[in-house]
């Protein structure tokens, strides 16, 4: 790693961040709320004077399509998820069928993604980077993930996420405006729907 001393956050951004943050768009998949709408969370934000944090809510299929297109172009995709669910650190796997609770304990988990959000059973707890996508016969099968927990984690810091895990536990991605169609960008012109301060969509930005 690299260490920089005696530097302000603004100076760090100017010297080391090679990304125009104003050109980035945050997309969420929140099945509790209407798609193609702009959302924010009340009191969200930890930078004084910064612009309000906004999200565009899309279907999970749209989010996966846009993420896959960016990866195909050779760029990674930042995403937020509920990292602790159906996740093996040793094997480097994230899969909703990783553990067969039905065979072992004669019960399963029947809550939908919307219900897990509504009742506090799931929320965004960690951010990682999508670096690869495996597609067979036009269908996404799995994703390659790069994490920040060191080489001893997973497969030398990488792990495999099945597409069904993405459906259930990925909530947010961030893309450049150029990666999105006009009809999605037009949502940014809407007045934002304000979610309450405790809403799980604000979990990673607090």
Q: Are 182 and 114 in contact (CB under 8 A)?
A: no
Question: Given this model, what pLDDT does residue 93 score?
Answer: 94
Within 10 A of 98 (CB to CB), how many other CB atoms are there?
A: 14
Tell me 181's DSSP state: -
Tell me 196's DSSP state: P
User: pLDDT grade, residue 182 (50/70/90)?
Assistant: very high
User: pLDDT grade, residue 206 (50/70/90)?
Assistant: low
Question: Given this model, what pLDDT does residue 76 score?
Answer: 97
Bridge partners (DSSP) listed for residue 77: 130
Write out pLDDT tens, residues 55-98: 999 999 999 999 999 999 999 999 999 999 999 988 899 999 98
User: pLDDT grade, residue 103 (50/70/90)?
Assistant: confident
pLDDT score of 155 more than 70: yes
Write out pLDDT tens, residues 115-130: 999 999 999 999 999 9
Burial class (CB in 10 A: 0-12, 13-18, 19+), 31: middle
| DSSP per-residue string spanning 108-168 | -----HHHHHHTTS----EEEEEEEEEEETTEEEEEEEE-SS-TTTTBTTEEEEEHHHHHH
Q: Are 172 and 22 in contact (CB under 8 A)?
A: no
| SS3 assignment, position 184 | helix
How are beta strands 170-176 and 77-81 bridged, if at all?
antiparallel
What is the Cβ-side half-sphere exposure of residue 203, based on CA atoms within 13 angstroms?
19
Question: Given this model, what pLDDT does residue 74 score?
Answer: 97
Q: What is the mean pLDDT of the chain?
A: 93
Question: Given this model, what pLDDT does residue 65 score?
Answer: 98
Question: Given this model, what pLDDT does residue 104 score?
Answer: 84
Bridge partners (DSSP) listed for residue 26: 174
- Distance CA(197)–CA(206), nearest Å, equals 10
Q: In degrees rounded to 5, what are phi and psi of residue 114?
A: -65, -40
Single out the residue of 203, 174, 171 nearest to residue 32, CA to CA.
Answer: 171
User: What average pLDDT does range 126-135 have in this prediction?
Assistant: 98
pLDDT score of 9 more than 90: no
User: What average pLDDT does range 161-174 have in this prediction?
Assistant: 98
């Amino acid at each position: 790693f690299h260490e920089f001393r005696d530097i302000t956050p603004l100076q760090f951004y100017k010297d080391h961040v090679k990304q125009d943050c104003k050109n980035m768009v945050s997309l969420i998949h929140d099945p509790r709320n209407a798609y193609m709408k702009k959302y924010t969370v009340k009191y969200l934000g930890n930078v004084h004077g910064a612009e309000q944090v906004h999200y565009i809510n899309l279907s999970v299929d749209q989010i996966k399509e846009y993420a896959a297109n960016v990866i195909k172009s050779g760029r990674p995709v930042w995403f937020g998820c509920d990292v602790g669910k159906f996740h093996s650190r040793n094997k480097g796997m994230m899969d909703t069928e990783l553990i067969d609770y039905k065979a072992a304990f004669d019960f399963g988990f029947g809550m939908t993604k919307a219900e897990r959000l509504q009742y506090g059973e799931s929320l965004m707890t960690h951010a990682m980077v999508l670096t690869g996508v495996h597609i067979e016969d036009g269908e996404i099968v799995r994703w390659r993930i790069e994490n920040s927990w060191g080489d001893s984690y997973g497969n030398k810091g990488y792990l495999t996420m099945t597409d069904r895990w993405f459906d259930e536990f990925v909530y947010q991605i961030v893309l450049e405006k150029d990666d999105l169609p006009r009809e999605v960008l037009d949502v940014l012109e809407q007045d934002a729907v304000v979610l309450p301060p405790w809403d799980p969509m604000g979990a990673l930005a607090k």
